[in-house]
Structure 1
Amino acid sequence: MLRHRFQPGRLVAGFFLTLAGVIYAGDAGGLWETPWFVLIPLVVGGLCTAGAVGVLAQAVHRRRGALRTGRDEPRADLPG
C-alpha cells in the first residue's frame, strides 16, 4: 500500500456523514422519529467543521515542512 499524508478533514467529514446515515437509518427502521430538518444542519455543520480542520491541518503541515527544511530560519548570507 502506498503511504499517503493523513487528512483529518476527510475523517471529520466521514464521521458526520456516517452519523447522518445512522440517524436516517434509525428513522427509516422505525427505531426513533427524526424530524426532517435535523439532518441538514448536521451535514452542513459537519462539512464546515471538516473544512476548518482541513485548512488547519494544511497550515500545520506547511509549517512543519518549513521547519524540517530549515526555511523558517534566517539565511546566513542575508543581512539582518
Structure 2
Amino acid sequence: MLRHEFQPGRLVAGTVLTLAGVIYAGDAGGAWETPWFAVIPLVVGGLCLAGAVAILTRAIRRRRGSPRETNPTPPEPQSDPHH
C-alpha cells in the first residue's frame, strides 16, 4: 500500500463533520434535544478552521521544502544503450 501525505486540514474537517453526525444521531436516538439550526455554526466554523489549517500546513511545507512533495508524474523510462 502506498503511503500518503498527512493532511491536517482534512483531519479537522472530518472530525467536525463526525461530531455533527454524532450530535444529530444523539438527537435522533432520543439521548438529547438538538435544535435544527444548532449544527450550522459548528459545520461552517469547522470547515473554515479546516481551510485555515490546510493553508497553514501548505505554507509551512513550502517554506521547509518538504521532501514529501514530489512530482506526480513518473519520470520517463531511460532506454538501455546496449540493446
TM-score relative to the length of structure 1? 0.79
Identity %: 78
SS in 2 for 1:50: helix
The letter of the residue matching 2:49 is: T
Q: Deviations over 1:32-71 (max 9, x none)?
A: 00111111000000000000000000001111117x7xxx
Matches within 5 A, 1:1-80: 1-65=1-65
Report the secondary structure of 2:47's partner residue. Answer: helix
Q: Distance in 2 between matches of 1:19 and 1:48?
A: 15
Long gaps (5+) in structure 2: 68-83
* Equivalent position SS for 1:37: coil
Partner of 1:74: none
* Count of residue correspondences: 67
For residue 75 of structure 2, what is the aligned residue in structure 1? none
